[in-house]
Amino acid sequence: MNKTMKVNKKIIGVQILKKDSTLPEIPKDFFSFEVLSQRAAHKWLKGRQDRKEWKIVPVLENDIEEPTFVKSSEIELYELL
């Protein structure tokens, strides 16, 4: 691809990744195909003592082949497990 060519991809959501990991590492509460809303990601991080170890990164369309979307209301289910 030509480096001057601009690629416009839509942000479809976010994922939470470990900050200091050489490979993308997601929390054990999630699967790699799950895409969170911004609100859901912040809600998950809010109650965690280790929240400074994680970062929120954007997910662009076509980054994940068949994404499953997680809403903030579904985060409560993760907290109960």
76 pLDDT above the threshold of 60: yes
Q: What is the pLDDT of residue 8?
A: 82
Greatest C-alpha distance within the chain = 48
- Determine, yes or no, domain membership for 79: no
Burial of residue 72, with CB atoms counted within 10 A of its CB: 0-12 exposed, 13-18 middle, 19 or more buried: middle
Q: What is the pLDDT of residue 80?
A: 45
Total-model pTM:
0.79
Q: Can you tell me the distance from the alpha carbon of 42 to that of 60, in angstroms, rounded to the nearest whole number?
A: 18
What is the domain count for the chain?
A: 1
Its domain, for residue 63, covers: 11-73
- Determine, yes or no, domain membership for 81: no
- Determine, yes or no, domain membership for 2: no
- Determine, yes or no, domain membership for 18: yes
Read off the pLDDT of residues 22-63 as tens digits, 9 standing for 90 and up: 888 999 989 999 999 999 999 999 988 999 999 999 999 999
- Determine, yes or no, domain membership for 6: no
Q: If DSSP codes are grouped into helix, strand and coil, which group holds residue 78?
A: helix
Q: Can you tell me the distance from the alpha carbon of 31 to that of 49, in angstroms, rounded to the nearest whole number?
A: 21
